[in-house]
Amino acid sequence: MDIILKDNVENLGYKNDLVTVKDGYARNFLIPKGLAIYASPGNLKMREETLKQRAHKEEKIRLEAEKMVKDFKGLNIKVGAKVGENGKIFGSVNSLQLSDALKKLGYDIDRKNIKIKDEPIKQVGSYTADVKIYKDIAETITFEVVED
């Protein structure tokens, strides 16, 4: 069944994408949750008009995302954590703390778009994370967990 996504759906597509899914997935999950609509001729025309209007805005967002990727290359990110003996952290460091650290540096990235490779982090040290900035633009960043 062809449907038009009304919102970003992980592992499926982005808002206003035309995708083909199994009938049951569309009827029982995507459409009732408001994540998609049927790809009827009227809805397809509406989608095309929406895409035309957003083309300029999308290009501007894409350029900003590419600029952000270049900025991440030389960025020194430090995440503070309470540390006990032997460099062990009380609790753990996750994507929420990394998102907050990026916000302090002026980058507003949602924590859902950050995937830390060695999660959970329970030691002081240097780690890497994949940051999804925009649709197909992502960057691997390194950050350091330090004593707070």
Question: Which pLDDT belongs to residue 135?
Answer: 79
Same domain, 51 and 119: no
From residue 49, give the alpha-carbon distance in Å to each of 7, 117, 134: 17, 40, 22
Question: Which pLDDT belongs to residue 30?
Answer: 96
Q: Burial level of 15, CB count in 10 A (0-12/13-18/19+)?
A: middle
What residues make up the domain containing 55?
A: 2-61
Same domain, 57 and 85: no
Residue 71's CB is within 10 A of a number of other CB atoms, namely 13
List of the chain residues with pLDDT < 50 = none
Q: Is the peptide bond before 120 cis (omega within 30 degrees of 0)?
A: yes
Same domain, 92 and 120: yes
Distance, CA of 84 to CA of 91 (rounded, Å): 10
Question: Which pLDDT belongs to residue 2?
Answer: 95
